């Protein structure tokens, strides 16, 4: 619904949104193709395994983009696909289908495999406070549309047949590889050598893979080219163009898609829509998360899930904050020390917010209630919430929002945005209620639940902790009682048990209560 506050569209969209376009390697002011509508497609997961914490960065980036566009008054339609067939273990059209390989190795049906990992993916998105997309179309639900799409390419002369299936002839489109800045000649001796020597060009790719002549696949369909299954790249062209009435505005994904998947997808779009039309006007990519000098990789088994962090006592929103501390186009070196530091920072922010709520009294409590109610809806109304938060806001608060807008609207500059948040939290000249209103406005983009999350929510018991939270509370209380009675031996015994269990206790004062937390271990 549209808000009816005092701000019209022009007033809300104070700062033009600039985004880095991978297609031409420069920043561009975002201008939607159709009125106020922003149509965004994100390449979703291949659901043969759990998403790792590096994968999830791409979806946090897309969520931040979506929130920033909505924050600036655009009506956003966001689509994320689910790849449940067709993604081979090699980008060069070789190897096994990842989903079928997982099903065979686990002795399970492909549909049980895809349902399990799709559900886990949705759980991760929810835990990270990533807004649900408008839809999550699945490749297996669009087989006939994929076949019809390929038939169009076939009729127009963009394809050729080999014994393994139907291939796309990349020589038929102009500027193939522009997105990845590929030097195709150098690729002849490099990583993209054709798995099939009969390809016309090594970088030509599969549109329809034929089933092996000596057996059947777990998932296969009849087609004009024989029984088989679609290539990985074609599904995204079909579903993005269908659900976003392509061509559309923005296509996002991880940086790993920029060199193979997205150039191939773009080539298909050119064949279908016309040689000058890549399908999306702007292509945007988030960088890798690096762990111990290695790229996160499910194929090597060297990856951490979001639950791996939670099992160590890390709240998912602490990981969200950790990622915000770097720009999405910068590689991030993962370490537990850095994640723990983000958790400490988040707790500090939440305690300052709690103090502001107490200082603002009933008005502060009412603002927190408004934020909780909005969080319980599917995204709430950005216009309505902004108008509520900004109503009656003083000059200093308005200036802070302008600075925040400049940060997030300049290619999603979350590090700068966090610096603005820090300034507001420490500025004693901003009245408590105004500070809370400003924080509420910021959090529409940040999604850290700053007005609703309690600092104690960050206290997560590690999976291997020898004590339960109730046991810890009892020991902390017993230690406090012993200290008050000057029974130092009993106090030391309680302290030792807490220390052995990995509990950190921060003794309070006459005005500050004693707090405790679990020590987060690597």
Q: Same structural domain for residues 343 and 260?
A: no
Which pLDDT score, from 0 to 100, does residue 85 have?
95
Residue 188 has pLDDT above 90, yes or no: no
d(CA 236, CA 263): 12
8 to 72, 73, 514: CA distances (angstroms): 11, 9, 48
Which tokens sit at 100?
């079928």
Q: Same structural domain for residues 225 and 298?
A: yes
Q: Same structural domain for residues 90 and 118?
A: yes
Q: Same structural domain for residues 181 and 77?
A: yes
Which pLDDT score, from 0 to 100, does residue 514 have?
84
Q: Same structural domain for residues 271 and 147?
A: yes
Which pLDDT score, from 0 to 100, does residue 66 have?
97
Q: Same structural domain for residues 238 and 333?
A: no
H-state helical runs in 17-162:
53-71, 98-105, 110-127, 143-155
Q: Same structural domain for residues 100 and 215?
A: yes
In a domain, 4, yes or no: no
In a domain, 5, yes or no: no
Task: Tell me the three state secondary structure of residue 289.
Answer: strand
298 is in an annotated binding site: yes
In a domain, 268, yes or no: yes
The residues that bridge with 38 in the sheet, in sequence order, are 76
Burial category of 464 from C-beta neighbours within 10 Å (exposed 0-12, middle 13-18, buried 19 and up) = exposed
Residue whose entry in the numeric block shows the structure tokens 């990981």: 319
d(CA 271, CA 274): 6
d(CA 129, CA 66): 13
Residue 6 has pLDDT above 50, yes or no: no
Boundary residue ending a domain (294, 311, 328): 311
Q: Same structural domain for residues 286 and 165?
A: yes
Boundary residue ending a domain (432, 456, 480): 456
- Model confidence over 391-425: pLDDT tens digits? 899 999 999 999 999 999 999 999 999 999 999 99
d(CA 473, CA 261): 52
Q: Are 239 and 232 in contact (CB under 8 A)?
A: no
In a domain, 259, yes or no: yes
Q: What is the mean pLDDT of residues 266-288?
A: 97
DSSP run (H or E) holding 94: strand 94-97
Q: What is the mean pLDDT of residues 480-492?
A: 93
519: pLDDT confidence band, cut at 50, 70 and 90? Answer: confident
Highest mean pLDDT among 177-191, 403-417, 485-499: 403-417
Which pLDDT score, from 0 to 100, does residue 156 have?
98
Task: Tell me the three state secondary structure of residue 210.
Answer: strand
186: pLDDT confidence band, cut at 50, 70 and 90? Answer: low
388 is in an annotated binding site: no
Helix then strand then coil, % of the chain, to nearest 5: 45, 15, 40
Q: What is the mean pLDDT of residues 427-435?
A: 96
43 is in an annotated binding site: yes
When the pLDDT of each residue in the chain is averaged and rounded to a whole number, the result is 90
Q: Are 244 and 77 in contact (CB under 8 A)?
A: yes
Q: Are 49 and 281 in contact (CB under 8 A)?
A: no
Q: Same structural domain for residues 483 and 438?
A: no
Q: Same structural domain for residues 322 and 307?
A: no
In a domain, 21, yes or no: no
d(CA 40, CA 6): 28
Task: Tell me the three state secondary structure of residue 13.
Answer: coil
CA atoms within 13 A on the CB side of 506: 7
Which pLDDT score, from 0 to 100, does residue 302 have?
63
Give a three-class secondary structure readout of 294-306.
Answer: EECECCCCECCCH
Residue 378 has pLDDT above 60, yes or no: no
Residue 146 has pLDDT above 90, yes or no: yes
Total domain count, the chain = 3
Residue 442 has pLDDT above 80, yes or no: yes
Which CATH number does the domain housing residue 260 bear?
3.40.50.620
d(CA 180, CA 169): 18
359 is in an annotated binding site: no
Q: Same structural domain for residues 51 and 154?
A: yes
d(CA 420, CA 486): 46
91: pLDDT confidence band, cut at 50, 70 and 90? Answer: confident
Taking Cα atoms as reference points, which of 296, 209, 308, 202 lies closest to residue 256? 296
Q: What is the mean pLDDT of residues 346-352?
A: 97
Q: What is the mean pLDDT of residues 51-65?
A: 97
In a domain, 216, yes or no: yes
242 is in an annotated binding site: no
Which pLDDT score, from 0 to 100, does residue 187 have?
58
Q: Are 194 and 202 in contact (CB under 8 A)?
A: yes
Which CATH number does the domain housing residue 449 bear?
1.20.120
Contacts of 496 (CB under 8 A, 6+ apart): none
d(CA 206, CA 166): 6
Residue 122 has pLDDT above 60, yes or no: yes
Taking Cα atoms as reference points, which of 285, 284, 287, 283 lies closest to residue 330? 287
Task: Spell out the long-range contacts of 381-385 with Cβ–Cβ below 8 A and sequence spacing 24 or more.
Answer: 381/1, 381/2, 381/3, 382/3, 382/70, 382/71, 382/73, 382/444, 383/2, 383/3, 383/5, 383/7, 383/12, 383/73, 384/1, 384/3, 384/4, 384/5, 385/3, 385/440, 385/444
Which residue range(s) make up the domain with 190? 32-311
Residue 190 has pLDDT above 90, yes or no: no
Boundary residue ending a domain (276, 311, 346): 311
In a domain, 375, yes or no: yes
In a domain, 251, yes or no: yes
The residues that bridge with 505 in the sheet, in sequence order, are 516
Q: What is the mean pLDDT of residues 362-374?
A: 86
Task: Tell me the three state secondary structure of residue 55.
Answer: helix
More confident of the two residues 116 and 512: 116
Q: Same structural domain for residues 64 and 157?
A: yes
């Amino acid at each position: 619904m549209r808000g009816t506050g005092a701000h019209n569209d022009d007033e809300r969209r104070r700062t033009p949104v600039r985004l880095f376009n991978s297609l031409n390697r420069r920043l561009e002011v975002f201008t939607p193709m159709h009125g106020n509508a922003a149509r965004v497609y994100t390449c979703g997961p291949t659901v043969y395994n759990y998403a790792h914490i590096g994968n999830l960065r791409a979806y946090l980036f897309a969520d931040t983009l979506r929130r920033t566009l909505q924050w600036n008054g655009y009506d956003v339609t966001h689509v994320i696909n689910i790849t449940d067939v067709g993604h081979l273990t090699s980008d060069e059209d070789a190897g096994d289908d990842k989903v079928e390989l997982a099903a065979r190795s686990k002795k399970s049906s492909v549909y049980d495999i895809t349902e399990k990992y799709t559900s886990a993916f949705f759980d991760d998105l929810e835990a990270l406070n990533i807004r649900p997309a408008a839809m999550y179309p699945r490749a297996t639900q669009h087989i006939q549309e994929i076949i019809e799409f390929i038939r169009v390419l076939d009729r127009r002369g963009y394809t050729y047949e080999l014994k393994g299936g139907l291939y796309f002839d990349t020589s038929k489109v102009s500027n193939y590889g522009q997105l990845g800045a590929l030097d195709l000649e150098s690729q002849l001796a490099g990583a993209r050598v054709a798995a099939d020597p009969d390809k016309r060009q090594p970088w030509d790719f599969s549109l329809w893979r034929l089933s092996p002549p000596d057996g059947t696949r777990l998932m296969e369909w009849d087609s004009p080219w024989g029984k088989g299954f679609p290539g990985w790249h074609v599904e995204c062209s079909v579903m993005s163009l269908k659900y976003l009435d392509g061509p559309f505005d923005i296509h996002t994904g991880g940086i790993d898609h920029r060199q193979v998947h997205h150039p191939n997808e773009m080539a298909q779009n050119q064949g279908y829509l016309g040689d000058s039309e890549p399908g999306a006007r702007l292509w945007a990519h988030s960088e890798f998360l690096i762990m111990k000098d290695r790229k996160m990789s499910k194929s090597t088994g060297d990856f951490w899930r979001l639950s791996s962090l939670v099992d160590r006592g890390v709240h998912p929103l602490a990981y969200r904050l950790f990622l915000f501390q770097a720009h999405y186009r910068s590689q991030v070196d993962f370490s537990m020390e850095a994640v723990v530091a983000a958790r400490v920072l988040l707790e500090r922010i939440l305690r300052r917010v709690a103090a502001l709520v107490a200082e603002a009294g009933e008005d502060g409590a009412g603002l927190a209630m408004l934020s909780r109610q909005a969080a319980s809806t599917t995204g709430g109304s950005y216009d309505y919430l902004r108008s509520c938060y900004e109503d009656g806001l003083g000059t200093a608060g308005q200036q802070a929002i302008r600075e925040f807008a400049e940060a997030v609207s300049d290619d999603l500059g979350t590090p700068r945005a966090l610096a603005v948040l820090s300034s507001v939290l420490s500025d004693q000249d901003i009245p408590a209620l105004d500070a809370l209103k400003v924080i509420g406005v910021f959090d529409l983009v940040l999604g850290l639940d700053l007005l609703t999350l309690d600092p104690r929510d960050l206290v997560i018991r590690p999976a291997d902790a020898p004590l339960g939270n109730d046991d810890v509370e009892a020991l902390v209380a017993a230690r406090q009682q012993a200290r008050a009675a000057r029974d130092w031996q009993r106090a030391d015994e309680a302290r030792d048990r807490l220390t052995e269990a990995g509990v950190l206790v921060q003794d309070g004062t006459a005005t500050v209560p004693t707090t405790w937390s679990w020590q987060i271990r690597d």
